[in-house]
Amino acid sequence: MDRNQSAAEREHGSEGLPVLSFGGWLIVAIALVSTVLFAASPVPKQEGRSMWTFARMHWLMYQPMVEKWNAEQTPRVNMNLLSLPALERRMLGAFLSETPSADVIEVERKVASRAFTGPLDAVGFVDLTDRLKSEGLLEGINAPSFSPWTSRGRVFGVPHDVHPVMLSYRADLVEAAGIDVSQVRTWDDFARVMKPLMADNDRDGKPDRYLLNMWDTHDEHLEVLLYQAGGGFFDESGHMVIDSPTNARVLATVVSWCVGKDRIAADAPDFSASGNKLKADGYVVCTLMPDWMGDIWKHEIPQLAGKVKLMPLPAWGTGVAAPDRRTSVWGGTMIGIPRTAVKSPQDFEDLWKFVKHLYLNDELARDLYRVGGIVTPVKAHWKDPIFDEPSAYFAGQAPGRMYIDLAPQVPMRSSSPYSNFARYRVQDALVRITEEARRQERETPGSLNFETLLARASEELRLAANKVQVQIDRNVFLKEEGR
């Protein structure tokens, strides 16, 4: 070999081509042939349009309605069930690259918000505002249910649900103690009226049970309480409100519930066998309950049938933005049409007709409630007698009617793509304050002071707001819009 031959020449040969062994060239040839054969082969493609959903219960519930549509209407729609992470990756990948995804997508709130990260004209879903308005659907559907799918005043999805929240309570325990829950109007009333249930009958120095299932690690419970009080993370215009006085009061109150001589709360985690056991044993008397949670309890804690009742959430009273609100909201799902699915006005009309067939019909409203305990956001269906049927699980109450009566009070929520990040930063703040309070109680029992907790909450929320603002400032589009 010539000593003066360059490294590039030694690697690629005098003509700049790679020097490969016979085996190497054989691999290249096989790859080329395979590519040609793959390109020449027809790709199986389903006839008609496609829909993605992430919820198995929805997928099963929709099948008869989709089959009816396919038998009577066009275009044909093929429904596909994906895991939520898979749906999120495919949806966002398609939106960012402006390549086709499904023609109709049903998506959960935390994932949907990520579609609103960029400028308004880059949102991957079709803007439905004008059509909703012209067809009277903005008035015909519960107004707060649109808020998670509304960005900068424009609506990009049709709501699937309302998800009001009430308070479930162990009626057997409460009524045996002679407690009248009608005397509970505020959270202060709640702690006072329910206090007899915290007796120490076994004399071990601790209450036999606690009044509320709430803990500093319950981020979703915290979010429910923040929204109920009129707080949250962003206002309807997308401006951050993390360090608001309302949020500070809620955090300080939650810490006082979880720590100290006046503690009323305990940890009975949702969606876990251990938490279900604690609820069944009466370790916690009351739990935050959105409409869909009742169906979960029926399947996971059947032994509580007839022992549980519902009541509106106690109001926060003075010191918060929404002092009288008796409900909140937990979760949410929408259906939308990706912009890449609409190549012509007729495409939109076809898909819009299917969306209405699926989401606005009375059959779905009844099935949602019958199968999942979920009340519809479509006001025209609220008079359906199914919502007045008594529930044996809830001791003869009619949960559907109770939830629907609260639906108009459900708080508005921001669709900010930074809501999840903000929620975790606020949760971090709560955990830090609670740990400090527990340490103080160990060192000096009975020394907790609410005003001190309120001041610490304000400090921690300012730090949380700064962290979220740093993230927002990295988004040039939202920064230009002054958000």
Q: What CATH number is attached to the domain comprising 100?
A: 3.40.190.10
The label of the residue with tokens 């699980």 reads 393
| Domain shared by 175 and 113, yes or no | no
Predicted local confidence at residue 300, as pLDDT: 97
Residue 312's domain spans which residues? 165-328+418-480
Q: How far is CA 162 from CA 57, 101, 171, 254, 405, in A?
A: 17, 27, 26, 25, 11
Which residues face 329 on adjacent strands?
A: 164
* C-alpha separations of 3 from 115, 423, 483 in Å: 59, 65, 64
Q: Which two tokens stand for residue 360?
A: 């606005």
- Residue 48 tokens read as 């008609």
Structure tokens at 50: 């496609």
Q: Are residues 308 and 443 in the same domain?
A: yes
Q: Mean pLDDT, the chain, as a whole number?
A: 91
Nearest to 80 by CA among 52, 48, 40: 52
Q: Are 276 and 346 within one domain?
A: no
Whole-angstrom distance, CA of residue 279 vs CA of residue 269: 9
Residue 348 exposure: Cα atoms within 13 Å on the Cβ side: 11
Residues in the chain, pLDDT under 50: 1-20, 33-44, 482
Q: Decide: 285 and 209 in contact? Cβ < 8 Å.
A: yes
Distance CA 456, CA 142 (A): 37
How many helices and strands in the chain, by DSSP H and E?
Answer: 19, 12
- Judge if 142 and 112 occupy the same domain: yes
Same domain, 24 and 91: no
Q: How far is CA 420 from the centre of its chain?
A: 10
**312/289 Cα distance (integer angstroms):** 10
Token reading at 440: 């103080």
Specify whether the backbone of 135 is left (phi greater than 0), alpha (psi in -120 to 50) or beta: alpha
The answer to the question of residue 93 being in a domain is yes
Contact indicator for 250, 324 with CB cutoff of 8 Å: no
pLDDT on residue 378: 98
Q: Note whether residue 154 is domain-resident.
A: yes
Residue 272 lies in a domain: yes
- Tens of pLDDT, residue by residue over 140-176, are 999 999 999 999 999 999 999 999 999 999 999 999 9
In a domain, residue 190? The reply is yes
Are 359 and 217 in the same domain? no
Question: How far from chain centre, in Å, is Cα 405?
Answer: 21
Tally the domains of the chain: 3
Q: Are residues 158 and 177 in the same domain?
A: no
Residue 236, pLDDT score: 81
Query: Of 110, 483, 457, 171, which is closest to residue 304 (Cα–Cα)?
Result: 171
- Give the Cα separation of 382 and 375 in Å (integer): 8
Compute CA 224 distance to the chain's CA centroid, rounded to the nearest angstrom.
Answer: 10
Can you give the pLDDT at residue 481? 53
The dihedral built from the CA positions of residue 267, 270, 274 and 279, taken in this order, carries a sign that is positive
Extract the tokens encoding 273. 């066998």
Confidence (pLDDT) at 32: 55
Does a structural domain hold residue 43? no
Same-domain check for residues 385 and 291: no
* Secondary structure of 279-312 as H, E, C letters: HHCCCEEEEEEEHHHHHHHHHHCHHHCCCEEEEE
Distance CA 337, CA 355 (A): 9
Do 24 and 148 fall within a single domain? Answer: no
Other residues' Cβ atoms within 10 Å of the Cβ of residue 37: 9
Looking at the structure, tell me whether residues 116 and 181 fall in a common domain: no
Q: Confirm whether 404 is domain-assigned.
A: no
Q: Are 158 and 223 members of one domain?
A: no
Specify if 407 maps to a domain.
no
Q: What is the pLDDT of residue 202?
A: 82
Residue 315's beta-bridge partner residues? Answer: 186
Residue 47 has a pLDDT of 80
CA-CA-CA-CA torsion sign (83, 88, 89, 93): positive
Instruction: Return the closest-CA partner of residue 231 out of 417, 478, 463, 457.
Output: 457
In a domain, 182, yes or no: yes
230 with 285, same domain: the answer is yes
Give residue 238's pLDDT.
Answer: 84
